[in-house]
Structure 1
Amino acid sequence: MFNLISVKYQDIINDKLDELYLLRKKTFKDRLDWQVTCVGDREFDSYDNEHTHYLLGCYDGYIVSSVRFIGMDQPNMITGPFKDFFNYQAPEDGMLLESSRFFVDKTRVQGLAETKLPFCHLLFLGMVNYARTLGKEAIMTVCSKSMYTILKRSGWNIAVESMGLSEKKEPVYLLRLGIGDDSQDALIKYIRRHYYCEGSYLKKWPIYL
């Protein structure tokens, strides 16, 4: 069984937080070689705090995907370490969410031969559904060129606010991710091509399949 839920930093149980940090280290340090803060075999930073919400995608109780949300009116990655990447003044707006540390664990997903769930796009849809539930206007995020391509192909309504270069001199994109009906419907259409489920059911939050 797959479920996608939101949990506050202060409410996540210790073993799940530990599992999340382990998976983030494997993704962002070991696989992508990003300049992230690691302590031993765990990755976390000062933005993992009481202002943070996580979306956790779990299959049979194990985390397979996650994203971190922080309100744009709180200290976040876009107005912090990513600020110098762009010639852009990011809005400190309580109606916007900043997303970061997005991942789908490839090793765990590849081991799930019995399911054809499109885990990446379920996480995209969960981001939209969650933000809509909170009454937000949009989601802001910074991504690489490869992730930008994936987002465009998903049908998600996205706008490039600015382009810049990372510390590795690689292109990065500051995006505004729409959460309107068009984005929700496009992601549901993509998911239903790979996994049959009533569209009305996929519009609900949390997501249980």
Structure 2
Amino acid sequence: MSKHFTKQSSKQLKQGYSTKALSWLNLTVCEPEYCESQPHPALDEYFRSRKKVFVDKLGWEINHFNDRETDEYDNENAYYCIILNNEKLAMAARGHRVGSPNPGSLIEALFQLYPDLAVPISKSDWDVTRLLLHPTLRVPLAQKIIGFRTLFARHRQRAKSVGCTRMLAVTNPQVPAHFAKIGLRTSRISRVVKMNENSSEMAVFAFEV
């Protein structure tokens, strides 16, 4: 793998890689719109992967139906970015603008359930949720790095397009260390909270847009 693709670049971290560069690595970007009656194939695979990762692997006690995990925040107001490797889902994440029409964003609901986690937020914040790497797909490290950089770059672009100046994510405090390895800088802006006796610790982290 050429160092040209993996060397950190502030432009690539904010804008992502060109379509030509991604194609050379067999990576493509899919930004499907939500449609409950006829879901896009990549989005349907994302819902299936969420069930495998968050329910089957991590043991989250969240609603799911058969082999898919979806919630009320999967709707027409959600933004989805899915990175495909050889036309198969490699990584993906969902995004909402804080203060979106009913039911709003997931982070708003979490703050109501766990007041110790809450921090001041506004409509200039973008909530990134259900971030995952496909549980069984094996891709080289360089492709993972480029895929995640592009994934966050697309979320940045969408956040900026609706007037957001900050991206937020509720995650395990150990996860941002992995973000740092691919050049994504974050800052913890909340207390570290344990959701329940069986869950791992979580905190709110902010990304610059």
Alignment gaps of 5+ in structure 2: 1-25
* TM-score for the superposition, normalised by structure 2: 0.73
In the alignment, is the contact (CA less than 8 A) between 2:149 and 2:182 conserved in 1? Answer: yes
Alignment gaps of 5+ in structure 1: 180-209
Structure 2 equivalent of residue 8 of structure 1: 33
Distance 1:38 1:24 in 2: 9
Percent same amino acid among aligned pairs? 18
Deviation at 1:169, TM superposition (A): 5.3
Whichever residue aligns with residue 201 of structure 2, its letter is P
Structure 2 equivalent of residue 71 of structure 1: 97
Structure-2 change in CA distance of 1:96 and 1:8 (3 Å): farther
RMSD of Structure 2 on Structure 1 (CA)? 2.4
* TM-score for the superposition, normalised by structure 1: 0.73
Map 1:133-152; keep pairs closer than 5 Å: 133-152=161-180
Structure-2 change in CA distance of 1:38 and 1:157 (3 Å): same
Judging by fraction of residues, say which structure has more strand: 1
In the alignment, is the contact (CA less than 8 A) between 1:57 and 1:65 conserved in 2? Answer: yes
Matched, 1:44 2:74: no
In the alignment, is the contact (CA less than 8 A) between 1:4 and 1:126 conserved in 2? Answer: no
Count of residues in correspondence between the two structures: 175
Q: State the SS of the aligned residue for 2:106.
A: coil
Query: Which stretches of structure 1, 4 residues or more, deviate above 4 A after TM superposition?
Result: none
Distance 2:27 2:207 in 1: 24
Structure-2 change in CA distance of 1:150 and 1:116 (3 Å): closer
Matched, 1:125 2:153: yes
Range with greater deviation from structure 2 (1-10 or 22-31): 1-10
Q: State the SS of the aligned residue for 2:177.
A: helix
